[in-house]
Structure formats: structure tokens, C-alpha cells
């Protein structure tokens, strides 16, 4: 066999191997999604989206309170996590000295790596114990802690991608630095920032552990932010470990809804990420 | 002739690097001064010191003084933002705001700083674009994105944006180095016209350009001002040996 044919053969083998590994990455995702659809689709009904769970023994019921609870928790967490993350990133990218920036960046990376159950325990100690009760606020706080480093780092990266020449163009026109930051730099990076925010939301939407000691979960509608509140991942967890066949079916349906929402968020994030080069 | 801008023993340091060394130099009003010299001689650094662009560079330190109409712009009570409104700048690469239309780019100095009345905006856009001889080329597509223009048109748009906020001094940092010869010629003609109203300081790599457009030429080498004089004198009878070597192409 000549050297050239050997090289061609080697090239073919390697390309084939890479194809196999690519498939290996896709297979688990497809399996998970297919399995959840198969198990959950039959329990998806109007009731599932409009009813709260029924007591054991009664059939039917849904996860409406969990969905509203999750949406509320995500909204509250975003109210804290997005501004802190975005403005922290603006400070790092535009104003910060090199030493303090390094410290903050390192702290954010460590925070991102903290197991989420620990984050839940911190929120428990800081909010649940002093307030003498589990609450939506404590749950949202724990989720915000998870959100902040993700938003911070992606926003900072996006701000750094904005060309210096644009900032200078604005400054040279006699526009103050803060207006330049707001209207030129941040505006240019907006789509990238949106991508980071959506990914952070997708991440916290499925978090269960930080809610265990904070939001706790609730079989009913909760009236106040200072009361325990239901959340999709918690409800799925509780139903899945229960001994009742009916609740298992609801858990599967809940998993299907949650995965679909996260899939949608990731698609939206990709959409913003894809077009971020074309516009400013 | 009046001196619009006066540098007095200006020093610029970047960390440990001494980029501009004790430069004293006057820029006459309503005329074009060219700053020439080989790469790394500090000419752009001097230019950027004049509208306080170094303020935002970490580690940059400016000492000495720069007077604009006799007032030191580096004095403690001076707002750099107010200075930059009086001293505009055109950059090496055309840098229109990519998300804005041609129209919005011209009035960007106003829009980014707040609001502008519609009638005023129309007038500013028309007069600024006419002044840079771009009006006839773009008047039918003012709402088009600025990035659709050619490089030369973009640079003229950037000049229009700069004069729209009515500065007194215009700094130009190698404004033609990214442009083709025809676009360069248009910009040079424009500079000739603009000097009636503005004081222009232009950094250029191109000695023919300096000879064509400027009234006064300053030659920099290794962060120092070697020689400054009327442009015809610098290019025909320079006093210093270094200047002669540079303009005759023996180094640089």
C-alpha cells in the first residue's frame, strides 16, 4: 500500500470515528427527550395546566400552581440576578481596576462552581431562619445567587467584544463615559447579553436542590411571597418519589413541560447569539 | 496668527514607557498643522492628549499643559467631556455607529447626549453632509444603514458627525490610511475647505499628504519634537539633519 492510500485510509477512519463520537453526544439527548415524551404526553391535558394537584386517591389534577410558582420564582430571581450580573459586568469591563476585577472574576467563577444545594443552605441560613419560615423570597434569592455569575461572565465577555473604536467615537463627540457605556457599549452588546440571560434562566428553571430548604413546595396556591411556594422541579421530585401511580404520571408530564420550556429558551438564546454579529 | 492650541512641555507616560518627551508646540488657528514621523514616534499619542483621550487608558499619565484658547485643559476644574465637545476627532479607520442610519450618525453627538428637535436635526444633517460633500450622494437614502456606504463615504460621514456638534478644533489621526487614492483626494479637498472654520491637526504617515494639505508641519522622532515650521520650509530647507533624512526617505 502506498503512503498516499494509507493516508487516505487513515483520514477516512478518523473522520468516521469523529462522526461516531458526535452521534454519541446526540444519543443521550435524543433518548432522554424521546423517553420523556413517551411517558408524559398522555398525561398532558387542559387540566394539567389549570388544576392544582388533587389529594391522593383522587385521579386527575395538574401542576398549575407549580408552573405559576416557577414563573414567579424565576421572575423574582431575575429582578435581583440580572441587574447585579449586568451592572457588575459593566463595572468589570469598563471601570474596574485590574486587581479588584481579578478578585471579582475569581469570586464569580467560584460561585458558579458551588453545588446548588449549598446555595440553598446559604439562603436557608440568611433568609429562612431569620424570617422563621420557608418562602418564595428565599427560593428566589437562592436562584438569583446561581444566576449572578452566569450573567456576569457572559455579559463581560460580550462587552469586551465591543470594539474600542466605537467607545472612542462616542467619547470624542463629547458624550460622557456613563452615557457611552449605556447607549453605545451596552447597546452594542445587548443581543449577547440577552443570550446570557436566557441561558441563566434556562439553568435556574430546572434547579431543584436550592429550592428544597427555601421555597419548600406547596400543594396549593400560595398567597404571599413570604409563604412556601410550589415549583415545577420540586413538584416533579415529590411526585416521582411518591408511591402513587397517578402522581408518577403527573411527574412525567411535568418533566416534559419543563424540558420543552428549557429547549425553547435554549433555542431563543441561540437565535440571539446567532444574530448578534449583524446588528449593533 | 493666533495660537488656538498650545502644548507646553507635554509628557505622556504609559506605565514605564515615556512616549512623549517634553513637547512644546503651538497650533495656529484656522490652519492645518501636520504631524509627521516614523511609526512609534508618539505622534498619535500627542494627538490623543489634545482631547484627553488618554484619560481612559489605564496606566497613562499626562503631565505638562495643553492650552485651548489660553486655558489649560488638564487643570483640575476642567471637565474632559466639555473639552471633547470643543475638540472633535476623526479616527484612522472610519467608525460610524453600525446600528444607526446615515441620518442618525450625523446627529449622533446630539442623540447620545439626549434629544434633538426634529427641525434642528434635519437642518444639522443637511448642512453637515453638504459641508463634507456627501449630501448629493446620500440625500435619497438618509435612513439607510451607515455601513452600506463605501470606506471613503464612511470617513466623510465621520467628519460630518464631528462637525455637526460644532467643535473649534478637529483632530485627525491618519484619516486616509484606510482609504483608496480617490477617497483620499476627496478628504484632502475637504480639509482644505474646513480650515476656514476650524483649526485642524492631522497626523499622517504620508509625507506627500502633509505637503499637500498642511500649512505647518511638525516632525517627531522617538517621542520628541525635532522640528516645526512652515510646511514649504520643512519640505525644502529643513534645519535639522534628522528631518531631512526622514523626508528624503533615508529612514523611517
Domain definitions of chain B by residue range: 3-93+169-247
Q: Do the Cβ atoms of A175 and B109 come within 8 Å?
A: yes
What's the total number of domains in chain A?
2
- Rounded to an integer, the average pLDDT of A70-91 is 95
In a domain, A54, yes or no: no
| Cβ-Cβ contacts under 8 Å, B59 against chain A | none
Cell of B13: 507616560
Selected from 3.30.470.160, 3.40.350.10, 3.40.640.10, 3.40.50.300, the CATH number assigned to the domain covering B3-93+169-247 reads 3.40.50.300
A24 and A120 part of one domain = no
In a domain, A224, yes or no: yes
Which pLDDT belongs to residue A277?
46
A76 and A142 part of one domain = yes
Of the partner residues B53, B56, B113, the one whose CB lies closest to the CB of residue A175? B113
- Give the residue from chain A lying closest to B84, CA to CA: A174
In a domain, A155, yes or no: yes
Can you say whether residue B246 is alpha, beta or left, with left for phi > 0 and alpha for psi between -120 and 50 degrees?
alpha
Interface ipTM = 0.91
A19 and A77 part of one domain = no
Under the banding of pLDDT at 50, 70 and 90, the label for residue B6 is: very high
Distances (CA, A) of A142 to A74, A76, A78, A221, A255: 11, 11, 11, 21, 22
A12 and A74 part of one domain = no
In a domain, A270, yes or no: yes
Query: Mind listing the pLDDT tens digit for each residue in A6-27?
Result: 999 999 999 999 999 999 999 9
Cell of B155: 470617513
Which pLDDT belongs to residue B98?
92
Average pLDDT score over chain B: 93
Non-local CB neighbours of A2 within 8 Å, separated by 6+ positions: none
| Cβ-Cβ contacts under 8 Å, A174 against chain B | 81-82, 84-86, 109, 113, 165
Which pLDDT belongs to residue A275?
57
In a domain, A49, yes or no: no
A119 and A10 part of one domain = no
Interface list for chain A against chain B, based on CB atoms closer than 8 Å: 97-98, 163, 165-166, 168-177, 179-180, 183-184, 187-188, 279-280
A145 and A10 part of one domain = no
- Rounded to an integer, the average pLDDT of B10-24 is 94
A77 and A7 part of one domain = no
- Rounded to an integer, the average pLDDT of B57-72 is 92
Query: Mind listing the pLDDT tens digit for each residue in B186-234?
Result: 899 999 999 999 999 999 988 999 999 999 999 999 999 999 999 999 9
A128 and A236 part of one domain = yes
Under the banding of pLDDT at 50, 70 and 90, the label for residue B252 is: low
Rounded CA-CA distance A137/B175 in Å is 56
What percentage of residues in chain B have a pLDDT greater than 90?
A: 84
H or E segment to which residue B10 belongs = strand B3-14
A interface mutation test: which of B44, B53, B56, B201 has the most A CBs within 10 A?
B56
B95 touches A: beta carbon within 8 Å: yes
Query: Mind listing the pLDDT tens digit for each residue in A157-193?
Result: 999 999 999 999 999 999 999 999 999 999 999 988 9
A204 and A99 part of one domain = yes
Written in H, E and C, the secondary structure of chain A is: CCHHHHHHHHHHHHHHHHHHHHHHHHHHHHHHHHHHHHHHHHHCCHHHHHCCCCCCCCCCCCCHHHHHHHHHHHHHHHHHHHHHHHHHHHHHHHHCCHHHHHHHHHHHHHHHHCCHHHHHHHHHHHHHHHHCCCCHHHHHHHHHHHHHHHHHHHHHHHHHHCCHHHHHHHHHCCCCHHHHHHHHHHHHCHHHHHHHHHHHHHHHHCCCHHHHCCCECCCCCCCCCCCCECCHHHHHHHHHCCCCHHHHHHHHHHHHHHHHHHHHHHHHHHHHHHHCCCCC
A interface mutation test: which of B48, B83, B111, B112 has the most A CBs within 10 A?
B112
* CATH number of the domain encompassing residue A198: 1.10.3720.10
A183 and A130 part of one domain = yes
Query: Mind listing the pLDDT tens digit for each residue in B123-154?
Result: 999 999 999 989 999 999 999 999 999 999 99
A136 and A31 part of one domain = no
- Rounded to an integer, the average pLDDT of A59-70 is 90
Query: Mind listing the pLDDT tens digit for each residue in A210-268?
Result: 999 999 898 888 888 889 999 999 999 999 999 988 889 999 999 999 999 999 998 98
Which pLDDT belongs to residue A222?
86
- Rounded to an integer, the average pLDDT of B44-59 is 92
Which pLDDT belongs to residue B58?
83
Residue B182 scores a pLDDT above 50:
yes
Find out whether B36 and B210 touch, Cβ atoms under 8 Å.
yes
Cell of B24: 512644546
Average pLDDT score over chain A: 91
Query: Domain of A8?
Result: 3-43
Residue A276 scores a pLDDT above 80:
no
Rounded CA-CA distance A46/A224 in Å is 26
B51 touches A: beta carbon within 8 Å: yes
In a domain, A139, yes or no: yes
Residue A1 scores a pLDDT above 70:
no
A120 and A247 part of one domain = yes
Amino acid at each position: 500500500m502506498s503512503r498516499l492510500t494509507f493516508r487516505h485510509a487513515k483520514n477516512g477512519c478518523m473522520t468516521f470515528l469523529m462522526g461516531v463520537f458526535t452521534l454519541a453526544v446526540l444519543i443521550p439527548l435524543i433518548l432522554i427527550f424521546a423517553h420523556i415524551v413517551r411517558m408524559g404526553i398522555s398525561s398532558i391535558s387542559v387540566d394539567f395546566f389549570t388544576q392544582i394537584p388533587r389529594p391522593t386517591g383522587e385521579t386527575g389534577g395538574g401542576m398549575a400552581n407549580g408552573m405559576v410558582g416557577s414563573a414567579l420564582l424565576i421572575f423574582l430571581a431575575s429582578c435581583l440576578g440580572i441587574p447585579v450580573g449586568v451592572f457588575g459586568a459593566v463595572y468589570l469591563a469598563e471601570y474596574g481596576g485590574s486587581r479588584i476585577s481579578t478578585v471579582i472574576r475569581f469570586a464569580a467563577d467560584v460561585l458558579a462552581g458551588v453545588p446548588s444545594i449549598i446555595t440553598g443552605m446559604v439562603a436557608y441560613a440568611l433568609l429562612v431562619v431569620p424570617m422563621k419560615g420557608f418562602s418564595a423570597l428565599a427560593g428566589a434569592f437562592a436562584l438569583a445567587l446561581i444566576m449572578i455569575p452566569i450573567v456576569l461572565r457572559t455579559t463581560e465577555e460580550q462587552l469586551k467584544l465591543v470594539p474600542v473604536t466605537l467607545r472612542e467615537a462616542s467619547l470624542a463627540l463629547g458624550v460622557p463615559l456613563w452615557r457611552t457605556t449605556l447607549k453605545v457599549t451596552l447597546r452594542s452588546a445587548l443581543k449577547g447579553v440577552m443570550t446570557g440571560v436566557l441561558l441563566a434562566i434556562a439553568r435556574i428553571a430546572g434547579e431543584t436542590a436550592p429550592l428544597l430548604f427555601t421555597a419548600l413546595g406547596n400543594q396549593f396556591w400560595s398567597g404571599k411571597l413570604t409563604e412556601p411556594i410550589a415549583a415545577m422541579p420540586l413538584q416533579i421530585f415529590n411526585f416521582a418519589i411518591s408511591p402513587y401511580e397517578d402522581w408518577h404520571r403527573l411527574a412525567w408530564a411535568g418533566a416534559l413541560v419543563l424540558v420543552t420550556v428549557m429547549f425553547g429558551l435554549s433555542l431563543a438564546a441561540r437565535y440571539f447569539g446567532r444574530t448578534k454579529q449583524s446588528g449593533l | 496668527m493666533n495660537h488656538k492650541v498650545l502644548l507646553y512641555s507635554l509628557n505622556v507616560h504609559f506605565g514605564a514607557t515615556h512616549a512623549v518627551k517634553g513637547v512644546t508646540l503651538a497650533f495656529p488657528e484656522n490652519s492645518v498643522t501636520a504631524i509627521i514621523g516614523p511609526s512609534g514616534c508618539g505622534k498619535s499619542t500627542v494627538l490623543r492628549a489634545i482631547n484627553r483621550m488618554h484619560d481612559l487608558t489605564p496606566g497613562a499619565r499626562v503631565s505638562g499643559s495643553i492650552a485651548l484658547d489660553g486655558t489649560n485643559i488638564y487643570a483640575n476644574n476642567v471637565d474632559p467631556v466639555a473639552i471633547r465637545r470643543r475638540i472633535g476627532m476623526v479616527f484612522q479607520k472610519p467608525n460610524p455607529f453600525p446600528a444607526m442610519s446615515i441620518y442618525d450618525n450625523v446627529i449622533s453627538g446630539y442623540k447620545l447626549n439626549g434629544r434633538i428637535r426634529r427641525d434642528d436635526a434635519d437642518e444639522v444633517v443637511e448642512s453637515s453632509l453638504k459641508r463634507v460633500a456627501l449630501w448629493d450622494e446620500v440625500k435619497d437614502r438618509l435612513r439607510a444603514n451607515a455601513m452600506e456606504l463605501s470606506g471613503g463615504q464612511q470617513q466623510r460621514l465621520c467628519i460630518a458627525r464631528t462637525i455637526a456638534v460644532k467643535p473649534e478644533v478637529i483632530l485627525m489621526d491618519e484619516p486616509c490610511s484606510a482609504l483608496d487614492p480617490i477617497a483620499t483626494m476627496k478628504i484632502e479637498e475637504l480639509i482644505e475647505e474646513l480650515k476656514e472654520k476650524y483649526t485642524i491637526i492631522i497626523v499622517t504617515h504620508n509625507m506627500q499628504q502633509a505637503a499637500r494639505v498642511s500649512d505647518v508641519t511638525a516632525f517627531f522622532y522617538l517621542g520628541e519634537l525635532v522640528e516645526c515650521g512652515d510646511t514649504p520650509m520643512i519640505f525644502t530647507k529643513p534645519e535639522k539633519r534628522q528631518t531631512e533624512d526622514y523626508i528624503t526617505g533615508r529612514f523611517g
